Chains A and B, each alone.
Chain A
Amino acid sequence: MNTVDFLNLLVSAFLLAGVYAAMSVGMTIIYGVMKIVNLAHAGFLMLGAYFVFELYSRFHIDPLVGVLLAFPAFYFIGIALHWLMIRRIPKSDQPTLSSLLLLFGLWLVLQNLGYLIWGNSDRAILTPRTFSTLQFGPIIFPTVRLVVFGAAVFSLGALEFVLHRTWFGRAVRVLMQNSDAGRIVGVNVDRTARIAFGVGIAFAGTAGGMLAMMYSFTPDFGGSFLLRAFVIIVLGGLESFSGVAIGAVILAVVETFSILVIPSGYQPAIAFSLLVVALVVLPDGVAGLWNKRQRWT
């Protein structure tokens, strides 16, 4: 492999990492605040994809605008679901049997509603952007990847701003570290959890829309990305936003370069192997490694 090929792969890996981070950050925020593993994440990724698709094919709304619209739409879906279901199950500082099963049930419902509405044929969002490419010296990549990367980085930046500059963001970070202490200093836990769930679902829908610009999709679309999101947040240490970014880069690089040696049929097995390696070697994620280093010095 020569340098140009290597650079090409590296650039496409980093462009992929942006979307991967946006796709996983919604799970992190929900897990961090509520200690609930959002298994229905896959369902919302899929719904986000079809949301943007329908807006484009029916109303000719540009997918980028569609992704922007997906955020508030899925935010309100998330709030409604929290009111309808999530607040009714027992709270715990550990993922419970009931929360896992409830969200798994929700995933089944969403996925099969998808089959019911859209059938199982492949859909794709094709805009003039889809087929154009950009060239920087010897490096060539599809424009749509750069656009999606930009959107992902923008959304992550906005989240970072909210987390560090607003009271809601402070409340989220307090609850992630210690929910009892948060309650003592006057954080409204229920309200914060509700909004955090809404934001988590909103990120899932938005990321689904972004992925739909890059890949074709069926109602089963979310499943393989759910596994990838798991790998990323486990690599990141489950509750760390900077960990998500690092995890996304690791997975994207491994996946992109593994194409060279491993047949594409085995791709989902790669994500899983990385998950096992992460669990054995770095149970607290990359961020945990960082914390340990800090403690030593």
Chain B
Amino acid sequence: MEQEAAVDMTEAASSSRSLPPFLRSMGPAVLLLIVLALLPLAGLGPNNIRLLFVTLVWITASVAWNILGGFAGQVSFGFAVFYGLGAYTTAISYNAGMDRFFAILLGALVALLASLLVGLPTFRLKGPYFAIATIGVSEAVRVVMTNLEITGGASGYRIMEQGPFNQHLHYYIALSLAALAVATSMLVRYSKFGLALLSIREDEEAASDLGVNPFRSKLMAHALGAALTGAAGGAFVGYAAFIHPQGVFGFDISVAILLMPIIGGVGTVWGPVIGAVVYGLVHEELIASFPEFHLLLYGLLLILIILFEPGGVMGLVENSFRFVRARSSVGSHS
């Protein structure tokens, strides 16, 4: 990882000469966005659009987790809290007659405020306190939500759709949200703020010696991730129309949100997107065929990735490129 940071530095230095890396990586992103925007018009079936919609929501959450977990190296086991808070807030304010857009925005805002509640006491301290607290907070919030009367407690909450159900509308909401998340992640990655986060990940003490404020940077990364995840929850609830605490605050949501960036490649811009696509495509099949032990498989996957390919899919691709290049260069020398 330390080597990677060194590469990042040279990358940032060379960027001033040629095109900024941010703009260079924009090309494929814009192309992808256009293709995804045109897909529903190409006569895709409702079930496929639903699958794409869910994957886009997952992409948003996965990219959001990566801003804190991947760039700043702070593992959170509790992103379901933000997802759930976003979903509930959006549902309640939409039912109260608020515009859909502002309802989702409010969901993001509530998630952001919740992130400060966890971040303020823990980020000041060095050590594992944050990771520990996130397990606690997700447990505590689920308990409270299961017992809370106003939201229907464990039996869940229903959102009243005003007007006819329009699948394409929800698809485009999720698409713009995912695009926003990826753009945010790119902006962070290639900005000074992103470099500060990377330096915190590598060595927090060295970072603060260089003038980075670890507390504020971590807090901001957490808030950014939480707001995006909250918005993802808000987008989801508009489509799902019904939510319950076990569903949106569930332990497996937290597991999913942290697993996706790890599958794809933690700490990269596109890794979390790839991970979310893989997860989105595989998850429903897995749930259908192994309802009992999909979490067992996810745990195994997590262990195998950490032990053998901590870079995820991105790392695997990079390593195989390097392998091919090394072999071809050996061939040319002999």
- Distance in Å: Cβ of B282 to nearest Cβ of chain A: 16
0/1 string, A116-140, CB within 8 A of B gives 1: 1000000000000000000000000
Q: A89-B306, A102-B307, A104-B77 are in contact. Are A266 and B127 (CB under 8 A)?
A: no
Q: How far, in angstroms, from A273 to B141 measured CA to CA in the complex?
A: 11
Interface check A279, CB cutoff 8 A = yes
Interface check B316, CB cutoff 8 A = no
A115 closest partner in B (C-beta): B292
**Which parts of B82-135 form the interface with A (CB within 8 Å)?**
121-122, 124-129, 131-133, 135
0/1 string, A283-294, CB within 8 A of B gives 1: 100000000000
Q: A101-B262, A105-B300, A227-B135 are in contact. Are A283 and B307 (CB under 8 A)?
A: no
Contact of B125 among A231, A263, A275, A279 (CB under 8 A): A279
Task: Tell me if A112 and B131 are in contact (CB < 8 A).
Answer: no
Task: Tell me if B139 and A97 are in contact (CB < 8 A).
Answer: no
Interface check B296, CB cutoff 8 A = yes
Chain A, interface residues (CB within 8 Å), range: 35 or more
Q: A105-B306, A112-B299 are in contact. Are A227 and B143 (CB under 8 A)?
A: no
A106 closest partner in B (C-beta): B303
For the complex, would chain A's binding face be called helix, strand, loop or mixed by DSSP majority? helix
Interface check B207, CB cutoff 8 A = no
Task: Tell me if B140 and A105 are in contact (CB < 8 A).
Answer: no
Contacts of A276 in B (CB 8 A): 121, 133, 136
Task: Tell me if A37 and B307 are in contact (CB < 8 A).
Answer: no
Q: How far, in angstroms, from A279 to B129 measured CA to CA in the complex?
A: 8
Chain B: interface residue total (CB-CB under 8 A): 43
Contacts of B193 in A (CB 8 A): none
Contacts of A224 in B (CB 8 A): 139
Task: Tell me if B293 and A105 are in contact (CB < 8 A).
Answer: no
Most chain A C-beta atoms within 10 Å of own C-beta, residue among B136, B147, B310: B136
Contacts of B306 in A (CB 8 A): 89, 98, 101-102, 105
Task: Tell me if B310 and A98 are in contact (CB < 8 A).
Answer: yes
**Residues in chain B within 8 A of chain A (CB atoms):** 69, 73, 75, 77, 121-122, 124-129, 131-133, 135-137, 139-140, 143-144, 146-147, 201, 204, 255, 258, 262, 266, 292-293, 295-296, 298-303, 306-307, 310
Q: List 14 A–B pairs whose Cβ atoms lie within 8 Å, in order of A's numbering.
A: A31-B128, A97-B201, A105-B303, A105-B306, A111-B295, A227-B135, A227-B136, A234-B132, A266-B144, A271-B136, A271-B140, A276-B121, A279-B133, A283-B129
The 4 closest A-B pairs by CB, nearest first: A108-B299, A105-B302, A112-B296, A272-B140
